[in-house]
Amino acid sequence: MGYAVMVIGFTLLQRYLVYVPSHLTQASAEESAAKAGFVPWYNAGHQLMGWRLPSRSAPIGSVLILHGNAGWALNRAYMAMPIQAAAPLDVYILEYPGFGSRPGSPGEDSLLRAAEEAFENLPRQCPSYLVSESLGTGVAAHLARKYPARVAGMALFVPYDKLASVAQNHVPFIPAYFLLWDRFEPLAWLKGYHGPIKVIVAGADEIIPPRLGEQLYEGYQGPKLLEIIPGAHHSNTTDESPEWWKELLAFWQQHSAGSRPGPVDQRRVTPE
């Protein structure tokens, strides 16, 4: 009976375990955004989709950041700054439904719909790139599956092959693999995408086992780079320098659709 209670409890409360959002008023969110140089990013109906850090000169592309399962979008403002320092890029951070000041409830369907709407609102005259963190891997993979010709490159920080594998690792005594409602499956969803991807794995990741990120990398069939940071924990991989982003942008540009010279498979172990 005790085991049955645990299983039922996991089944009913799983979304509280998967999604851990911070909540703000719209006024507080806009004040925080303005201090960081961001402006609200609205759809045609003036509903908030996220936040935009406009390029100071004519942009050569757009970067959409798809963050992890906790906090809110502008907790990742530190990721946007070096991206923009590397090149004139408009940087957008998607606010998931139920996070920050955005109304709604988080779940697979609501996150994927929000991501589609956001991607459709990116400028089309320049390349669009995706940068994901943790849970956002599944959101990014969905966009690459739905818009393979428009996603010019991806960077996946601390990713996973499928969310069920992550859940099962945390609760091995419960059949989480079969009970999970939200089944983000990046490895399967990327099968129709062949653009350039960089995978960044934290070697001491306590949330997503490193092997899951490596499995995603091994299963991907397009141009790819793998960077393993041996002593890094789950939250220690996304604070990269402008030079790091310049190198990644060059990889994206070199292997984008229509200009790929051939397959790429490169692995690198980087000091923490």
Gap between the Cα atoms of 171 and 202, Å rounded: 21
244 to 26, 92, 195, 248: CA distances (angstroms): 34, 19, 19, 6
The CATH number of whichever domain residue 86 belongs to comes to 3.40.50.1820
pLDDT of residue 14: 66
* Single-letter code of the amino acid located at 224: K
Gap between the Cα atoms of 94 and 114, Å rounded: 8
Range of the domain at 163: 2-269
DSSP string for residues in the chain: -HHHHHHHHHHHHHHHHH-EE-B--HHHHHHHHHHHT-EEEE-TTS-EEEEEE--SS--SEEEEEE--SEE-GGGGHHHHHHHHHHSSEEEEEEPPTTSBT--S--SHHHHHHHHHHHHHTS-SSS-EEEEEETTHHHHHHHHHHH-TTTEEEEEEES--S-HHHHHHHH-TTTTHHHH-S----HHHHGGG--S-EEEEEETT-SSS-HHHHHHHHHH--SSEEEEEETT--TTSSS---HHHHHHHHHHHHHTSTT---S--EEEEE---
pLDDT of residue 74: 96
Taking only the tens of pLDDT, the chain with its 272 residues reads 876 766 676 666 667 778 899 999 999 999 999 999 999 999 989 999 999 999 989 999 999 999 999 999 999 999 999 999 999 999 999 999 999 999 999 999 999 999 999 999 999 999 999 999 999 999 999 999 999 999 999 999 999 999 988 888 877 777 777 778 788 999 999 999 999 999 999 999 999 999 999 999 999 999 999 999 999 999 888 889 999 999 999 999 998 754 555 567 777 777 66
**Number of domains within the chain:** 1
Sequence-separated (6 or more) residues with CB below 8 Å from residue 31: none
